[in-house]
Amino acid sequence: MTGLPLGIPAMGLATPIGTGRAAVAAALFAGTRSGLVARDDVIPGRTVRVGAVPGPLPPVAAAHDTRNNRLMGVALAQIADAVEQAAARFGRHRVAVVLGTSTAGIAEGEAAYAARARGGAWPPGFHYRQQETGSLSAFAADALGLTGPAYTVATACSSSAKVFAAARRLIRAGLCDAAVVGGADTLCRMTVGGFASLEAVSAGLCNPFGANRDGINVGEAAAAFLLTRDPAPVMFLGAGEGSDAHHVSAPDPEGRGALEAMRAALADAGLTPADVAYVNLHGTGTALNDSMEGKAVHALFGAAVPCSATKAMTGHTLGAAGACEAAFLWLTLSRADNPDGLLPPHLWDGAADPAIPPLALAAPGARLADPAGPAAMLSNSFAFGGSNVALVLGRGSGWGGMP
């Protein structure tokens, strides 16, 4: 049985390469690494590149005041009108909120502990609840005035991809009529230091799928979407979830779990590999993840389907990566935002790893074969413990979308 296609009539995002649809689309399709900035304040004694959202973020209610929630608020503001229309139509209790994160307010906790170490007291306004994972969805529900089911998914780097499948289950079960989905993660010393302790942070710019790759650039982002049963120009067509539990931090070297997630997503969408026009790779730039993903993608798609790893532009946005990269699919599919059918380019040093099967890595200027026609696209998100998710988005009347 195939899944329930859902319309995605609204999308908002804030990333290191821009905020809002127009700015992000321009940067995404041109290909830029300007969002990966050098910082010497996240790992003691070391300068690293991180994907940082520039500028101050608008304040939020004091009860929810963390950088993570502020960044989420920027994305939510871009879909607020569409959400308000859904709430008026269905009732506020019939719109769910399902978001993903891994950091929540950890940065505020770091600052508070440092202040206490210096002065012996917690700083004014700090509360441990700022660090709770569930705070992200509680903030979003309050900010949007929604009273339906609201919870947060935290499965590390697959968190905000899993929310699409989770929200669809709520809609299918009749617990809501629409859902706000997405996620946010913000830079903090704990996560960057944690990846550094695993020797997984690049010495410079990350180099996905390159022979010279040496790790990730950690990033931050937020993305938000509205899901409804109504057809829309961009549709959520399917999801494949799995947990291969190969190792607590290392993936199955043969990519079996990743392959099964992609196969399940296509089956859920009622599609074949030949129906897919583009794949957004998980593409972290680490030796093990790129190797296993290359094997899995090649096994399913061969070397014909255009692919790219957009983390080379944003850095690895961790719990926000699934939503951020789903937003990139949304922009790529949107005729309004991408009338020329451009694909996000794969930015790297061009030195292929002979141990990875060949992939059709999209060069700058690459385009869809039919820029205006129907298209389906897939995005991968893989996490610690083998939590694997693949999402399929598409456009075209053949999948319930508007022509």
The DSSP annotation for 182-203 comes to: EEEE---HHHHHHHHHTT-B-S
Q: Which of 64, 282, 298, 346 is catalytic?
A: 282
Q: Which of 176, 316, 324, 346 is catalytic?
A: 316
* Residue 324, phi-psi category: left (phi > 0), alpha (psi -120 to 50), beta (remainder): alpha
- CA 76 from centre of chain: 15
- What is the rounded CA–CA span in Å between residue 202 and residue 310? 16
Q: What is the dihedral of CA 124, 122, 111, 151, to 10 degrees?
A: -80
Active-site residue, 247 included: no
- Cβ-contact 380, 280 below 8 angstroms: yes
Radius of gyration of the chain (CA): 20
- What sign does the CA torsion over 335, 13, 20, 178 have? positive
**Which amino acid belongs to residue 190?**
M
Active-site residue, 282 included: yes
Half-sphere exposure for 223 (CA within 13 Å, toward CB): 32
Strand-pairing partners, residue 182, are 99, 224
Active site residues: 157, 282, 316
